[in-house]
């Protein structure tokens, strides 16, 4: 078993406290590695290294910065099987999804590497003669990245890729449940040619590492993905310092199925959306909103398919649903299941922690479906586990009203063959992402990703918008008239 310290200035160093913590498999309890428990002093060291590396990295040509990301993508592609298994062992998603996580990271790094040859500005005519106007993009400086455990390769790359290609240097805190994936990513970037100090990794708890990053006066921007409670805290602290902040938080994503839908397609969609990654995606489907005409039939098909899902060892390719990621996750999800029962939702299938030889060392919860009424807690709050609420509605209008009546707005989906309804749903669903005839999960990396309402603060990751949070636009005027020209003042 490997013992890691913190990765600062291109070297693995022990944490100032000398304390460490272990990362374990949520399926088996196996200890995978230990990490230094960082604190304020370590964040300061990481900041100093990032600060020292900043000017050199920013003047290193952007296409060459992109080339390093491309090298990293190639290394990851070569090691995909092994890295996918690492994701599965450390985070618990099934092996096909572990590899998918790595593939998403590869795809995104390939995409964002090309940004090194764009980082586009604009030119536009001046209102004055012999005057030239343009914008250029500049890095923000030292940026702080805080990432969750549910996509331990993809989400860090969504942030690291654009931060690095834009010429920023980084202090990075990964989730404490998946530091081994983060450390492996740092090693890959080093092998790909990233100079020392450009990326600094500080592992440890949110209070000891995350807060000092967010409050550090020299760290100019914060990019955070995680829970709403933590996101609010990040936003409050960072806004007091007038920092740039990008937040990506929860979801309560609906899949609507209309009476004209292809029901087999809709059932396969919701199975994948609700129980993929054991429901631990911010895009997971947690509400199935069914038109009353197809309610009984859809439910019947869904229940029989759900009961046939195989829960267990995530490394076994036959397994459909792996463990949830931690004892805390397990407790929270089981508590929500209890709440659902108490508020009168009807438990149709699942609802229990699995016990027995194959499960005893991990955190396994049965795929769970409730027949619920809109307004119950389980239909409003993010559960982040394999729990789906089914809600009956009379028509399209009610479906959209129910879909929108939550505090979140990340992903959404409607199954219908009616083109008019599909387009209306694109207009009317309050969400950053809408799928037509496809589940709420599975965003592609070359399109912007992010939510509305309490899901985020409007910043979009990935796609053409990925660099926005990591660049400042400078407006430039070049006067080649040789005389003082006064804008807005007519001579
Ligand atoms: C997340 O859960 O934090 O669309 C992101 C999806 C993934 C991204 C999920 N590509 O489900």
Distances (CA, A) of 486 to 134, 353, 489: 18, 73, 6
State which of 443, 459, 463 you would mutate to test the pocket of ligand 1, scoring each by most atoms of that ligand within 8 A of its C-beta: 443
Burial of 346-362, coded b for 16+ CB within 10 Å and e otherwise, reads: eebbbbeebeeeebeeb
Please name the residues in contact with 489: beta carbons below 8 A apart, sequence gap of 6 or more: none
pLDDT of residue 432: 97
pLDDT at 458: 84
| Residue 208 near ligand 1, beta carbon < 6 Å | no
Contact assessment for residue 93 and residue 102, using Cβ atoms and an 8 Å cutoff: no
* Ligand 1 contact, 441 CB (< 6 A): yes
Q: How far apart (Å, rounded) are the C-alpha atoms in residues 474 and 135?
A: 5
Are 87 and 27 a contacting pair, CB within 8 Å? no
Å from CA of 276 to ligand 1 middle: 11
Q: Is 282 in the pocket of ligand 1 (CB under 6 A)?
A: yes
Q: Ligand 1: does its nearest atom lie under 6 Å from the Cβ of 306? A: no
Residue nearest to atom 11 of ligand 1 (CA): 441
Burial class of 131 by CB neighbour count within 10 A (0 to 12, 13 to 18, 19+): middle
Tokens representing 168 are 């920023």
* 482-490, Cβ contacts within 8 angstroms, sequence gap of 24 or more: 482/130, 485/128, 485/129, 485/130, 485/131, 487/127, 487/128
Q: Is the CB of 205 under 6 A from ligand 1?
A: no
DSSP conformation class of 206: I
Say yes or no: CB of residue 150 within 6 Å of ligand 1: yes
Helix (H, G, I), strand (E, B) or coil at 297: helix
Ligand 1 centroid from CA 442, angstroms: 6
C-alpha 183/C-alpha 68 separation (Å) is 17
CA 408 to the chain's CA centroid = 15
Q: For each successive 10 residues of the chain (491 residues), what is the average pLDDT?
A: 95 96 98 97 98 98 98 98 98 98 98 98 97 98 98 98 98 98 98 98 98 98 96 97 96 98 98 98 98 98 98 98 98 98 98 95 98 98 98 98 98 98 98 98 97 93 97 98 92 64
Report which secondary-structure segment, H or E, holds 183: helix 179-191
- Which atom belonging to ligand 1 lies closest to the Cα atom of 411? 4
* Orientation angle between helical segments 179-191 and 80-91, nearest 10 degrees: 160
CA 443 to ligand 1 center in whole angstroms: 6
Residue appearing with tokens 């834009």: 166
Backbone angles phi, psi at 305, to 5 degrees: -70, -40
Catalytic (active-site) positions: 248, 282
CA-251 nearest atom, ligand 1: 2
Task: Residue 406: name the closest of 359, 467, 339, 453 by CA.
Answer: 453
Q: What is the pLDDT of residue 491?
A: 64
Residue 255 pairs with which residues in a beta bridge? Answer: 288, 413
Q: Which of 441, 447, 450, 460 to mutate to test the pocket of ligand 1 (most atoms within 8 A of CB)?
A: 441
Tokens of 222: 């914060």
Structure confidence at residue 64 (pLDDT): 98
Atom nearest to 104 CA in ligand 1: 10
CA of 280 to the centre of ligand 1 (A): 9
CB contact burial 64-91 (16+ within 10 A = b; e otherwise): ebbbbbbbbbebbbeebeebbbbbbbbb
Ligand 1 contact, 408 CB (< 6 A): no
Q: Is the CB of 155 within 6 Å of ligand 1?
A: yes
Q: What's the rounded Cα separation, in Å, for the pair 107 and 361? A: 34
3-class state of residue 73 by DSSP: helix
Bridge partners of 426?
Answer: none
Q: How far is the CA of 268 from the centre of ligand 1 (A)?
A: 18
- Using the atom order of ligand 1, give the atom closest to the CA of residue 280: 2
Q: What's the gap in Å between 441 CA and the centre of ligand 1? A: 6
Torsion of CA 191, 195, 198, 201, to 10 degrees: 40
- Asked if 217 and 251 count as a contact pair (C-beta separation under 8 A), the reply is no
CB 400 within 8 A of CB 428: yes
283 in contact with ligand 1, CB cutoff 6 A: yes
Contacts of 105 (CB under 8 A, 6+ apart): 73, 76, 153, 154, 156, 157, 185
| 442 within ligand 1 shell (Cβ under 6 A) | yes
Q: Are the C-beta atoms of residues 37 and 208 closer than 8 Å to each other?
A: yes
Tell the residue number behind the tokens 């969609």, with chain if given. Answer: 269
| Ordered DSSP codes for 207-251 | IIIIHHHHH-TTEEEEEEES-HHHHHHHHHHHHHTT-EEEEE---
Distance 281 CA to ligand 1 centre (A): 6
Three-state DSSP state, 23? strand
CA distance 335 to 333: 5
């Amino acid at each position: 078993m490997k013992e890691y310290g913190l990765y600062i200035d291109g070297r693995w160093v022990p944490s100032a406290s000398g304390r460490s913590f272990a990362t374990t498999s949520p399926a088996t309890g196996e200890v995978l590695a230990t990490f230094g428990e960082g604190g304020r002093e370590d964040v300061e060291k990481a900041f100093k290294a990032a600060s020292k590396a900043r000017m050199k990295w920013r003047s290193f040509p952007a296409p060459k910065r992109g080339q390093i990301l491309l090298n990293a993508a190639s290394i990851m592609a070569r090691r995909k099987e092994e890295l996918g298994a690492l994701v599965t062992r450390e985070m618990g998603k099934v092996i096909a999804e572990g590899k998918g996580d790595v593939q998403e990271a590869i795809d995104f790094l390939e995409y964002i590497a090309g940004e090194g040859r764009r980082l586009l500005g604009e030119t536009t005519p001046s209102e004055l003669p012999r005057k030239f106007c343009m914008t250029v993009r500049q890095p923000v400086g030292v940026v702080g990245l805080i990432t969750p455990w549910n996509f331990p390769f993809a989400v860090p790359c969504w942030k690291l890729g654009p931060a690095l290609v834009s010429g920023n240097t980084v202090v990075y805190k990964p989730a404490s449940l998946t530091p081994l994936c983060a450390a492996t990513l740092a090693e890959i970037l080093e092998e790909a040619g990233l100079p020392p100090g450009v990326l600094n990794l500080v592992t440890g708890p949110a209070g000891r590492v995350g807060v000092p990053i967010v409050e550090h006066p020299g760290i100019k921007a914060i990019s955070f993905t995680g829970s709403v409670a933590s996101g609010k805290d990040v936003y409050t602290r960072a806004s007091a310092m007038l920092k740039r902040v990008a937040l990506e938080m929860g979801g309560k994503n609906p899949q609507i199925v209309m009476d004209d839908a292809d029901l087999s397609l809709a059932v396969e969609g919701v199975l994948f959306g609700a129980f993929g990654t054991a429901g631990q995606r911010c895009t997971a489907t947690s509400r199935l909103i069914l038109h009353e005409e197809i309610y009984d039939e859809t439910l019947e098909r869904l229940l029989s398919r759900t009961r046939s899902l195989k829960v267990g060892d995530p490394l076994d390719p036959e397994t459909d649903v792996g463990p949830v990621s931690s004892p805390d996750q397990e407790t929270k999800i089981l508590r929500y299941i209890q709440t659902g029962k108490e508020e009168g939702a009807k438990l149709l299938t699942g609802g229990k922690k699995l016990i027995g030889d194959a499960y005893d060392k991990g955190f396994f919860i049965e795929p769970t479906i409730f027949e619920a009424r809109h307004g119950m807690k389980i239909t409003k709050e993010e559960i982040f586990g394999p729990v789906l609420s089914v809600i009956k509605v009379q028509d399209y209008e009610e479906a959209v009203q129910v879909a929108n009546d939550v505090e979140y707005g990340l992903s959404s989906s409607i199954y219908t063959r009616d083109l008019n309804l599909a387009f209306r749903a694109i207009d009317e669903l309050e969400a950053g992402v809408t799928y037509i005839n496809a589940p709420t999960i599975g965003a592609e990396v070359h399109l912007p990703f992010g939510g509305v309402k309490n899901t985020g603060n409007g910043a979009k990751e990935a796609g053409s918008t990925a660099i926005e949070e990591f660049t400042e636009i400078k407006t430039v005027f070049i006067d080649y008239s040789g005389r003082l020209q006064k804008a807005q003042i007519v001579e």
